[in-house]
Each structure stands twice: as C-alpha cells, then as structure tokens.
C-alpha cells in the first residue's frame, strides 16, 4: 500500500516527536550544505532541516505525501526539492553532507541485502565526514507491542482502524481501513502495508561494513539504548 491513503490525515494521525528528535541529533549535524531526507512523508522534518540552513531534497514513494509536503513548504515559504522513489530501489544523485530518515522510513526496507545496498549508496553520496541519521522501530517493539494489536482513531471527519499482525519473524503486516464521513453516510478505503524489523546488531554490522562510525541511542528518550527500547536512533558518520 502506498501512503497515499493516509496522506491528508497523516500529520493528525502520527503524533511523532519531531522536535525532540531534531534536538537530539542536531549536535551531530555538519555546519551546513545539502541534505537528503529519505521517506520524508509530509515534510515535517525536512522543513526543520531547511530552517536550520540546509538545502533539502525530499524523497518519498507516495506522490500524495509529497504533495502534502509541497503544500507545507509553500506555506512556510521554504524551497525544497521533491523526488518520488521507493527506498528499496533508490538512486542517489549528487553529494550531501547530511542524509536523514525519520519515523520508521527504513522499516520499509524489505531485506537485509537491500539494507546493505542502501547504506552503501548513502555512504557514496555523503561528503567527507558526512552524517547519516535515522530512527526505526525495533524488533522488540514489533514482537511485543505491535503484533496482534488493533488501533482505533475517531475524529469528526473520519474513522480509522489499524490492525497489525505478524507475518513471520521480523515482518509485520498492517490492515488499514479509513471511513470518511460524508453528508449521507461514509465512504470506505482499505489498504495493507508491510514493515520489516531488524536486530540492532544488524544495523550496526551493515553500517560498519560500509565504512561508518556508528552511535546508537534510544529513539524515544534519546538516552541509552536497552533491550526493551521501542525505538532505535542511529547517527552514523562517514569515515
């Protein structure tokens, strides 16, 4: 499923701590330059990068998410570049001092081999001492928080059901149904998407193989990572 289904409601649905994440990784930022924001969604984090002085390119697989991001950029009077691409088949052109992905973007990388290739492409695209920063949901969260759960959201304009189920180890499928309130009743849209979860050690090993110095922290508290952390924050610097 493309996130097109959720694009107009995404910012309302996803209550993500972009401010906290930005503050946590800002000390690792290079002074300035070009930034590439992968799986950028509606552009919230990309706008923060732009406000910090970076020239930002946004990449997302959903055309409608990019449309929402462009609307926000115009409203903020920020010039961003928008590109549509699946992170699993990504081609990166140009050089960047900073590459980011927030709010589970890399949980859509479909295999360890794809993850290895992605980290290699990112390493090649970074300038000397360039930084990759991303956060993901952990395997612990997939197995102990998400699997088997149903989430429900009811607002004046729509009702949403979000049911997650384990497909296999490290792989969670989610059924989404959105009921949009109309004058005479409801219209219904359904979707399905799959997320992929890897051991923290896998991220570290693959990044180091590609030539990164790697630092881990808890992606919710921004303190020390532990075995029950729901989120992993990674800051990796090109050697």
Q: Are 20 and 119 within one domain?
A: yes
**What pLDDT is stored for residue 7 in this prediction?**
73
Rounded Cα–Cα distance for residues 179 and 161 (Å)? 9
pLDDT digits (tens, 9 = 90+) for 176-220: 998 988 888 889 999 999 999 999 999 999 999 999 999 999 999
Residue 4: pLDDT above 80?
A: no
Q: Are 126 and 163 within one domain?
A: no
pTM: 0.94
* Number of domains composing the chain: 2
**What pLDDT is stored for residue 9 in this prediction?**
74
pLDDT digits (tens, 9 = 90+) for 109-155: 999 999 999 999 999 999 999 999 999 999 999 999 999 999 888 88
Share of the chain above pLDDT 90, in %: 84
Buried/exposed code over 84-123 (b: 16+ C-beta within 10 A; e: otherwise): eeebeebebeeebbbbbbbbbbbbbbeebebbbbbbeebb
Rounded Cα–Cα distance for residues 153 and 159 (Å)? 6
User: Domain holding 110: CATH number?
Assistant: 3.40.50.150
Among 179, 196, 213, the domain-final residue is 196
Rounded Cα–Cα distance for residues 207 and 116 (Å)? 8
pLDDT, mean of residues 224-238: 98
Q: Are 107 and 178 within one domain?
A: no
Q: Which two tokens stand for residue 100?
A: 């980011």
Rounded Cα–Cα distance for residues 159 and 163 (Å)? 13
Q: Are 26 and 128 within one domain?
A: yes
Q: Are 85 and 168 within one domain?
A: no
Residue 156: pLDDT above 90?
A: no
Q: Are 21 and 118 within one domain?
A: yes
Q: Are 100 and 150 within one domain?
A: no
Q: Are 40 and 117 within one domain?
A: yes
Name the pLDDT band for 2 (thresholds 50, 70, 90): low
Give Cα 35 to chain centroid, integer Å: 15
Q: Are 148 and 51 within one domain?
A: no
Please indicate whether residue 32 or residue 108 has the higher confidence score (pLDDT): 108
Q: Are 84 and 50 within one domain?
A: yes
User: Domain holding 187: CATH number?
Assistant: 2.20.25.110
Q: Whole-number mean pLDDT of the chain? A: 94
**What pLDDT is stored for residue 24 in this prediction?**
97
pLDDT digits (tens, 9 = 90+) for 36-63: 999 999 999 999 999 999 999 999 999 9
Q: What domain range includes position 222?
A: 3-137+199-238
Q: Are 132 and 159 within one domain?
A: no
Residue 14: pLDDT above 90?
A: no
**What pLDDT is stored for residue 10 in this prediction?**
77
CB-based contact 67:82 (threshold 8 Å): no
Q: Are 69 and 92 within one domain?
A: yes
**What pLDDT is stored for residue 12 in this prediction?**
73
pLDDT digits (tens, 9 = 90+) for 75-117: 999 999 999 999 999 999 999 999 999 999 999 999 999 999 9
């Amino acid at each position: 499923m493309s996130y097109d289904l959720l694009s107009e409601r995404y910012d309302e649905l996803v209550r993500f701590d972009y401010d906290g994440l930005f503050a946590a990784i800002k000390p690792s930022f290079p002074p300035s330059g070009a930034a590439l924001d992968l799986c950028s969604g509606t552009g919230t984090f990309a706008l923060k990068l732009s406000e910090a002085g970076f020239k930002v390119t946004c990449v997302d697989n959903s055309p409608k998410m990019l449309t929402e991001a462009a609307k926000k950029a115009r409203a903020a009077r920020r010039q961003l570049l928008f590109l549509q691409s699946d992170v699993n088949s990504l081609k990166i052109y140009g050089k960047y001092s900073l590459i980011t992905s927030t709010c589970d973007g890399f949980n859509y990388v479909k295999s360890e081999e794809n993850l290895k290739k992605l980290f290699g492409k990112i390493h090649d695209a970074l300038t000397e001492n360039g930084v990759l920063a991303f956060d993901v949901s952990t395997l612990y969260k997939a197995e102990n928080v998400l699997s088997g759960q149903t989430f429900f959201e009811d607002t004046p304009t729509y009702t949403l059901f979000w049911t997650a189920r384990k497909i296999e180890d490290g792989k969670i499928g989610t059924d989404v149904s959105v009921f949009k309130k109309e004058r005479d009743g409801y219209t219904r849209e359904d979707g399905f998407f799959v997320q992929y979860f890897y051991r923290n050690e896998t991220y570290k090993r693959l990044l180091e193989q590609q030539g990164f110095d790697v630092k881990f922290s808890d992606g919710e508290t921004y303190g020390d990572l532990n075995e029950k952390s729901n989120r992993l924050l990674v800051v990796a610097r090109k050697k």
